[in-house]
A and B are shown apart, each in its own frame.
Chain A
Amino acid sequence: MAIAGVAILAKKEEIQNVYQRLEQIPEITTYGIHQEQYIVAVVETSPQQDLEKFLKKIQDNDPGILGIFPAYANFEDEVLGESLDELV
């Protein structure tokens, strides 16, 4: 699976609605609205899902979203086959 940090750019007037809609999506954890037009979020996809396609789908399904910009991604469990739910 992949974990990605993304900045989501939304239309200013729509941003509250977009935020609520994003919160309904199980793969997404939101981290607040910033500068009136960005939503910081983390996306966790299952190994069967292609992260890029997933993001594109979200964007295409939500007219309030102008762009999704990944800043960070981590695929380590896909690579090493380890469980991430251990304490560090």
Chain B
Amino acid sequence: MGVTRREFIKTTAAAAAAASIGTTLLPGGVKPLFAENDMEWHKSVCRFCGVGCGVLIGVKNGKVAAIRGDKFNTINKGHLCVKGFYLHKIIYAKTRLTHPMIKKNGKFEKVSWDEALNFVAKKFNEIRKAHGPDALAFYGSGQAETEETYMANKLFKGCIGTNNMEGNPRLCMASAVGGYLTSFGLDEPAGTYEDIEQAEMFMLIGTNTAEAHPIVFERIVRHKMKNPNVKILIIDPRKTPTDQVADLHLFPKPGWDLAILHAMARIIIKEGYADEQFIKDNVVFKDNKKNLTYEQYKQFLEKFTPEYASKVSGVPVEDIVKAARMFGQAKTAMSMWTMGINQRTRGVWANNLITNLHLLTGKIGKPGCDSFSLTGQPNACGGVREGGGLCHLLPAHRVVKNPKHREEVAKVWGVPVSNIQPKPGKHTVAMFEALNKGEIKGIYIMCTNPAQSLPNASKYWKGLKEQFVVVAESFFPTATTKFADVVLPAAFWAEKEGVYGCTERRSQYMPKVLEPMGEARWDAFILRDLGIRMGFKKEFEKYKTAEDIWNEYISLTKGRDLDLSGATYRRLKKERGLRWPVPSEDHPGTYKRYVKGDPIFDELSEEKKKGRWIYFYGKPEGKAVVWARPDKGPEEPTDEEFPFALSTGRVLEHWHTLTMTGTVPELNRAVPKAYVEINPEDAKALGIANKDQVIVETRRGQLKIEARVINRPKKGTLFIPWHWEEWMANILTIDAFDPGSKEPEYKVCAARIRKA
């Protein structure tokens, strides 16, 4: 039987079409469009923000070819924000640093690892010998893995013997730590993201959640779309994309919101929204000097009438009343905040006053209730807060001041306890100040870019220029590598394994799916090898794998509030993270602290609990503290000379100093350059039109930048996204810091603006 070519082709065509929908008419066919073509998927975690979304890394032919949201991760259920979406592209950025380099005669020259590490070891030892251990310092990152920070901690605090060991979480989370410690006695939130879907009301204060914590925002949006009765209150001097879901927005003058929180507390008590039984059982009152009675606290609040708060903050009286009622009437409430509260000279106090509202209304410890601080960086909680990567801390929520803590840590580290100094080292601003003064002569900077990210940045370039600076980085150049004497290429995300701990106390494992690019090496091993070369062979040669380091670290968490001893690599590799406390390998992790289900609460004796359903075991008698803090404005209020309040912040599409997102064409297209947002009324008064070049000036510096006339910042305020080196907002910001948390006040300073 003959077949014509036409028929032959037609049958082939039909077969191909059938195959494309997974059916066969005839043997053979074409691949369906969505076929995975040999892609291998690896479970990991997003490199960017503290939300901690689960991702799947797609590897094909030994290259990372794709990224996907991990639908089995309960944080993001498969969704990603625009940054996470392009994560895989960053691995192959042209700006990856692939060789160690030493600056010789002002120019970087490629050298071998041996030469670089020997050089650094020799220099550090010389400095240590001539000027003592405190002439050395380490500056790390909330983006480093827990294992990496752990190694740095051991090298600097345990071996070199200096507590000058800090990290950029000082610039972002320190006030939240201070807040939790003073209110509850223990760091990190009681609740988790699971509370979002059970909350009736959200108070978003000092957070642009939509842009800085997009997937948290997405969960709030979803929840509100399903439950239109959910109320959202925003307190922020700037209108942001988060406003898309707001029911009420209070616009305080930047830095003047403490009075509002007190006024809300006053209304809540006066109008009967307080949970008096909860207060009686679980709360004590304090001011900066002494204990107070409930009555005395009420007395203290008398000053904070809505009218007073309105006068101080510029928010209409009725809005303050509405906000207080909204919080009081909701059965469950969750407050969230981030840099707008933390980056303040009274950041700790602001944190306390938020938690006050929860303690007064008993909206804590129950599903849908929490005072929930949003963390900026992916491992600020895990590596630095829990891992003890600040100058006063030791691993697992320990402090250098406590002799018992020093002993416990020294034992595990295998170093004499006398190596660990009892006195806290220099906090970030003091550290760079000391570098300027020459008191610190050598610094090791890992995975961060302080030359651009410090407040009042240009002031600290002097020290970076003059002292011996080692920078371990995945990218080159950055504002900081310019000042480096040695740069060490660090393996990037997906080229190393390790653990990140996100906002909700969850530790998640990231696999190594690629060999590091060029000669790059894992930061933890760079530090190990440096330690060995500095003479600490015995202390460091035992670490052969990431798991060795992790196991040692979790052994230090045993019996602590953040017990991670059940979170072994074996488990973390399988599960989508675990929320501590996880005291044993068969423990599922903890949804809520201080209540039933929290293994530490469950183990407390009945005698102690006295029938209470919640027990803040970080505080005496398990009672949390409601703080009567004075209301104080910013360090540098506006005046006639500098009439605008300047604030800085993020945009959705970019991350910190652009070393990563700046390499993705799509993200650059989305927001190609910096700008200053100015309110249309202010712009009109100053004759500034949209897209005009303007000069923004503070007492510290000036910046030429494009104006964006937009109804976002409140009248009298300016806003600049801080990501670009070319338009470096931190030349303008103030380096005054919170006396408690030592966190600088990035969010408010006085400025003026004029047409260029």
Contacts and interface: CB of A to CB of B under 8 A. Distances in A.
Interface of A: 3-7, 29, 31-32, 34-35, 38, 40-42, 44, 69-74, 76, 84-88
Contact of A85 (B6, B10, B19, B20): B6
Nearest to B8: A88
B16 A5 contact: yes
Given A40-B25, A87-B2, A29 B17 contact: no
Interface string B505-546: 000000000000000000000000000000000000000000
Contacts of A74: 9, 12-13
Nearest to A37: B21
Contacts of A7: 17-18, 20-21
A5 B17 contact: yes
A88 B14 contact: no
A72 B6 contact: no
A35 B6 CA distance: 27
Contact of A72 (B2, B17, B23): B17
A7 B29 CA distance: 13
A3 B9 contact: yes
10 contacts: A4-B13, A5-B12, A5-B13, A6-B17, A32-B25, A40-B14, A42-B14, A44-B10, A74-B9, A85-B6
Interface string B1-42: 011111011101111111111110100001000000000000
A84 B5 CA distance: 5
Contacts of A69: 17, 20
A31 B23 CA distance: 12
A88 B10 contact: no
A7 B13 CA distance: 10
A55 B34 CA distance: 22
Contacts of A84: 4-6, 9
A52 to B, nearest CB: 15
Nearest to A31: B14
A38 B18 CA distance: 9
Contacts of A4: 13
Given A40-B21, A40-B23, A87 B4 contact: yes
Given A5-B15, A74-B12, 6 more contacts: A5-B13, A5-B16, A29-B10, A31-B14, A31-B17, A88-B5
| List of 5 A-B pairs having minimum Cβ-Cβ separation, nearest first | A5-B13, A72-B16, A5-B17, A71-B20, A84-B6
A69 B4 CA distance: 25
B395 to A, nearest CB: 57
A12 B424 CA distance: 71
A3 B4 contact: no
Contacts of B8: 88
Interface string B636-669: 0000000000000000000000000000000000
A42 B17 contact: yes
Nearest to A9: B21
Contacts of B5: 84-86, 88
A57 B6 CA distance: 24
B13 A73 contact: yes
A71 B14 CA distance: 9
A88 B4 CA distance: 6
Contacts of A35: 21-23
A72 B13 contact: yes
Contact of A3 (B6, B22, B23, B30): B6
Contacts of B21: 7, 34-35, 38, 40
Contacts of B23: 34-35, 38, 40
A74 to B, nearest CB: 5
Contacts of A42: 10, 13-14, 17
A87 B9 contact: no
Interface in B419-460: none
Contacts of A34: 18, 21, 23
Contacts of B30: 71-72
A50 B484 CA distance: 62
A79 B189 CA distance: 70
B326 to A, nearest CB: 45
Contacts of B12: 5, 72, 74
Interface in B272-316: none
B512 to A, nearest CB: 39
B4 A41 contact: no
Contacts of A38: 21, 23
Interface centre among A35, A38, A41 (most CB of B within 10 A): A38
A3 to B, nearest CB: 5
A22 B15 CA distance: 18
A76 B21 CA distance: 25
Contacts of B18: 5, 7, 31, 34, 40
A31 B14 CA distance: 7
Given A3-B9, A29-B10, A34-B23, A87 B17 contact: no
B26 to A, nearest CB: 10
Contacts of A31: 14, 17-18, 25
A30 to B, nearest CB: 9
Contacts of B3: 87-88
Given A84-B4, A84-B5, A85-B5, A3 B10 contact: yes
B650 to A, nearest CB: 39
A87 B8 CA distance: 10
A8 to B, nearest CB: 9
A31 B11 CA distance: 9
A16 B16 CA distance: 22
A4 to B, nearest CB: 6
A16 B17 CA distance: 19
Task: Count chain A CB atoms within 10 A of each CB in B14, B16, B18, B30 and give the residue with the most.
Answer: B14
Nearest to A85: B4
B337 to A, nearest CB: 46
Contacts of A86: 4-5
B414 to A, nearest CB: 65
Nearest to A72: B16
Interface string B487-500: 00000000000000
Contacts of A6: 17
A81 B268 CA distance: 86
Contacts of A3: 6, 9-10, 13
Contacts of A70: 17
A70 B10 CA distance: 13
A71 B484 CA distance: 57
